[in-house]
Amino acid sequence: MKFGKMLMVGAAAFAMVLSTVGCATDDDLSMFRGKSGAGSNSGLNGGNGSAYGNLNGGDADLNSLNGGNGANGMNGGDANSGVSGWANKSLSPYDDFGTPITGLTFQPVYFRFDQSSIDSSEAVKLDQVAAYLNSNPGTGVVIEGNCDSKGSDEYNRALGERRALAAKDYLMTKGIADSRIRTVSYGEEKPAVPNTDDSARAKNRRDEFIGVTLKR
């Protein structure tokens, strides 16, 4: 008899549990649901996996700042759209400075090996640049410093900058305002001729001058 009563009490309790679960809403059950699956936006960098099982939500790289495949990556879904993508983009030295003047050319100024000082024989070329700028107030010049292939990329980039700045300083002594001069160094990246021998390399140790109409 006691066993029969126990069975009846147990059945009644089980029925009450079923009734309670049957009345639960989606909101009530959401706390028990996992956050995995392809549609999850909760990974730190997006992705397709579980937000709890993987800090990055699946496929995204832990060190990535650009997202991965998920909708809520730090920079969205395109791995080239963030800081690293911007770092790969460089402005032309003319973009915010001036428009190159068609048909206007100046002679290159050449340098001795590993030097950035202006030889007296080359200074006359800078005098011609200064004369043009003084006669045309709305113009400016971009000075491009270049090197031969000897030395490291970093060293040649710095040497090219020193060469460009040496020409700028000379022009300023001739009355050309700083605001009318833009310098850029290409190091060894833009040789005039292939660096096949000493004679060819001497032609690459140079400043180039591009006259521009200044942007206002």
Domain boundaries, the chain: 36-89, 98-214
Which residue matches tokens 């939500």? 57
**What pTM value is reported for the model?**
0.59
Contact between 88 and 77 under an 8 Å Cβ cutoff? The reply is no
Kindly state the tokens that stand for 20: 């309670």
pLDDT tens string 28-84? 434 434 434 444 443 334 343 333 333 333 333 333 333 333 333 333 433 333 333
Q: 98-214 has which fold?
A: 60s Ribosomal Protein L30; Chain: A; (3.30.1330)
**Interstrand relation of 181-187 and 139-146 (parallel, antiparallel or unpaired):** parallel
pLDDT at residue 53, as a whole number = 37
| Helix/strand/coil (H/E/C) assignment for every residue in the chain | CHHHHHHHHHHHHHHHHHHHHHCCCHHHHHCCCCCCCCCCCCCCCCCCCCCCCCCCCCCCCCCCCCCCCCCCCECECCCCCCHHHHHCCCCCCCCCCEEECCCCCCCCEECCCCCCCCCHHHHHHHHHHHHHHHHCCCEEEEEEEECCCCCCHHHHHHHHHHHHHHHHHHHHHCCCCHHHEEEEEEECCCCCCCCCCHHHHHHHCEEEEEEEEECC
The half-sphere exposure of 70 on its side-chain side, counting CA atoms within 13 A, is 29
**pLDDT of 92:** 75
112 neighbors 121 (Cβ within 8 angstroms): no
Q: Give every residue of the chain whose pLDDT is below 50, as ranges.
A: 1, 3, 9, 15, 17-89
Q: Please, which residues bridge with residue 162 across strands? A: none
Q: What is the pLDDT of residue 90?
A: 55
Mean pLDDT computed over every residue of the chain: 73
Nearest to 148 by CA among 86, 92, 206, 104: 206
Cα gap 106→208, rounded to integer Å: 8
What gap in Å lies between CA 60 and CA 77, rounded to an integer? Answer: 10
pLDDT at 116: 98
